[in-house]
Amino acid sequence: MLALAKVSESDRKKIIWNFMEELWENYLNALENNLPTKLNLLDFFNFGTLKNGFTENDKLYVIKQYAKESGYIKIIGTEVSVTKKGLKEFQKRYPRLGYKHVKYLV
């Protein structure tokens, strides 16, 4: 098993921010197009842009830890989905976006 790199708090936040931004875009796109809202974790691209040479394992570890700590997303194997708690948080943080799909899913 490979050792994970030490990820600074600022890089951790960047990984999470980029991942969550892409997750919301993909999630809302899935809703609008009647596609499954359980997404493949390995299909995400944007959260991988870091300067310090972290591996995919480092980034996935950060995302999986965030899922456990926040409860906003659920990861099973390579499948990621937004939880009800995550939907509520999204509505709270971005009320002006007014996505009609999100309000009736909570």
Specify the pLDDT at position 70.
95
Any domain includes 43: yes
Residue 1 domain-assigned (yes or no): no
The domain of 15 spans 9-105
Share of the chain above pLDDT 90, in %: 25
**Which of the given ranges, 4-13, 58-67, 87-96, has the highest pLDDT on average?**
58-67
Claim: this prediction has a pTM higher than 0.85: no
Pair 82, 37: CB distance under 8 Å: yes
- What are 36-78's pLDDT values in tens digits? 999 998 888 765 555 566 777 888 899 999 999 999 999 999 8
Neighbours of 45 (CB within 10 A): 9
pLDDT at 103: 45
SS3 of residue 100 by DSSP:
helix
Name residues whose C-beta falls within 8 Å of residue 101's C-beta, 6 or more positions apart in sequence: 28, 31, 32
From residue 72, give the alpha-carbon distance in Å to each of 5, 33, 67, 80, 83: 25, 22, 6, 10, 5
Q: How many domains does the chain have?
A: 1
- What distance in Å separates the CA atoms of residue 70 and residue 45, rounded to the nearest whole number? 21
Q: At 58, which amino acid appears? A: D
In a domain, 24, yes or no: yes
Asked if the structure places residue 94 within a domain, the reply is yes
* Residue 32, pLDDT above cutoff 50: yes
Do 47 and 18 meet the contact criterion of CB atoms below 8 Å apart? yes
CATH number of residue 100's parent domain: 1.10.10
pLDDT for 48: 53
